[in-house]
Amino acid sequence: MNQKGGVGKTTVTTNLGAAIARRGYRVLLVDLDPQGHLTYACQLPENEQPATLAAALLGTYAGPVAELIAPWRERVDVMCTNVDMFLLERQLYQSRGMEMKLSRLLEKVTALGQYDVVLIDCPPSLGVLTDNALIAAGAALIPVQSEDSTLRALKLLLDQVRSIEDELRVAIELLGMVVNLYDKRKGRVVTSTLKALADMQLPILAVVDDRASIREAWRVGQPVIEYEPESPSAIAFHSLAGVLTGENEPLLAQVIDLDKAQRKAIPA
Ligand SMILES: Nc1ncnc2c1ncn2[C@@H]1O[C@H](COP(=O)(O)OP(=O)(O)OP(=O)(O)O)[C@@H](O)[C@H]1O
Ligand SMILES: [Mg+2]
């Protein structure tokens, strides 16, 4: 999650999902963003009536949840979206337990017994959809860019997480940040912000450089670990997957020799 647009939420969801699957876990990606970028990035068709994610969340579709899910890569499936999601937010405000809808839906997914890991791609807002994702997941991973506005945006985000915890009496684990689109050639603002981020309470779990291979992989509907398996981007996602599955040590916040640290984390 991150209410800032374009920081890499969708990129992290698809690429991390693929890297976790490579470790043998069965992964479901959920496209909770009405923009549908995850669905498009995976080159999958939108949901069709009546089996849409919007209808399932509203409760007007009560059929098999498997109808909402399409296969993408080996061990990675996607719960796709469609344009009805744009209207959903307003409709949810009129329904009871509006923050719990995704939790209820994912209970049905759990009952299928087909997945070990679920990653939810949030829209760029702190609205009811993101609240649903937080509550369903009970944990948040935060892609950020290393730039001046990030620290303020992070403060808003952390306040929102705390207010949900207070109001709904749930616990949300903040897993950490993924610094994305990192380009140290852009100078001191970028490198000094990375230092400021490293000093925050939230751990930095990976640093993903700004690389053409990520955009190219997106364009052909592939995760970067397939598109360019040896690239630094692929290595960064393998490393992140290892940290989140508990198989690698978290990177030191000081990120002294990042490339070396991430390289050690490639699965056999
Ligand atoms: N590390 C990277 N290197 C190069 N390009 C990247 C990288 N990460 C993301 N991009 C590109 O930047 C754009 C924005 O990324 P993405 O869509 O993942 O962000 P987002 O936070 O999901 O955006 P939104 O807030 O609109 O949902 C995409 O075109 C993506 O291909
Ligand atoms: Mg997105």
Is 80 exceeded by the pLDDT of residue 267? no
Is 50 exceeded by the pLDDT of residue 253? no
Residue 8 sits at φ, ψ, to 5 deg, of 115, 20
**How would residue 48 be classed by pLDDT, with cut points 50, 70 and 90?**
very high
Is 80 exceeded by the pLDDT of residue 265? no
Q: What percentage of the chain reaches a pLDDT higher than 90?
A: 82
- Return mean pLDDT, the chain: 92
Tell me, in angstroms, the distance from the centre of ligand 2 to residue 190's CA. 22
Inter-CA distances, 65 with 41, 123, 258, Å: 22, 22, 41
Structure tokens at 266: 């490639």
Tell me, in angstroms, the distance from the centre of ligand 1 to residue 9's CA. 7
Tell me, in angstroms, the distance from the centre of ligand 1 to residue 65's CA. 29
By CB neighbour count within 10 A (0-12 exposed, 13-18 middle, 19+ buried), where does 47 fall?
buried
216 lines ligand 1 (CB under 6 A): no
Tell me, in angstroms, the distance from the centre of ligand 2 to residue 32's CA. 9
Q: What is the pLDDT of residues 63-111, one digit of tens each?
A: 999 999 999 999 999 999 999 999 999 999 988 999 999 999 999 999 9
| Contact assessment for residue 177 and residue 202, using Cβ atoms and an 8 Å cutoff | yes
Name the 3-class secondary structure at 109. helix
Sign for the pseudo-dihedral over CA of 88, 76, 51, 56: negative
**How would residue 187 be classed by pLDDT, with cut points 50, 70 and 90?**
confident
Sign for the pseudo-dihedral over CA of 200, 202, 204, 208: negative
d(CA 170, CA 162): 10
Q: What is the DSSP letter of 68?
A: G
Measured between its terminal Cα atoms, the distance across the chain in Å is 30
Helices (H), 9-52: 9-22, 37-41
d(CA 251, CA 264): 11
| Contact assessment for residue 82 and residue 35, using Cβ atoms and an 8 Å cutoff | no
| Contact assessment for residue 34 and residue 88, using Cβ atoms and an 8 Å cutoff | yes
pLDDT at 143: 98
**How would residue 185 be classed by pLDDT, with cut points 50, 70 and 90?**
confident
Averaged pLDDT, 212-241: 96
Q: Is the peptide bond before 267 cis (omega within 30 degrees of 0)?
A: no
Q: What is the pLDDT of residues 11-28, one digit of tens each?
A: 999 999 999 999 999 999
């009496």: which residue's tokens?
Answer: 169
d(CA 64, CA 44): 19
* Closest C-alpha to ligand 1, atom 3: 210
Is 70 exceeded by the pLDDT of residue 6? yes
pLDDT at 256: 44
The length of the chain in residues reads: 268
Is 80 exceeded by the pLDDT of residue 262? no
**Strand runs (DSSP E) across the chain, as ranges?**
27-31, 69-73, 76-79, 117-121, 139-145, 173-182, 204-209
Q: What is the pLDDT of residues 56-75, one digit of tens each?
A: 999 999 999 999 999 999 99
Q: What is the pLDDT of residues 116-133, one digit of tens each?
A: 999 999 999 999 999 999
Kindly list the protein residues that place their beta carbon closer than 5 angstroms to ligand 2, a single-atom ion.
9-10, 37
pLDDT at 68: 97
**How would residue 258 be classed by pLDDT, with cut points 50, 70 and 90?**
low
**How would residue 159 be classed by pLDDT, with cut points 50, 70 and 90?**
very high
Dihedral angle over CA of 22, 180, 175, 254, nearest 10: 110
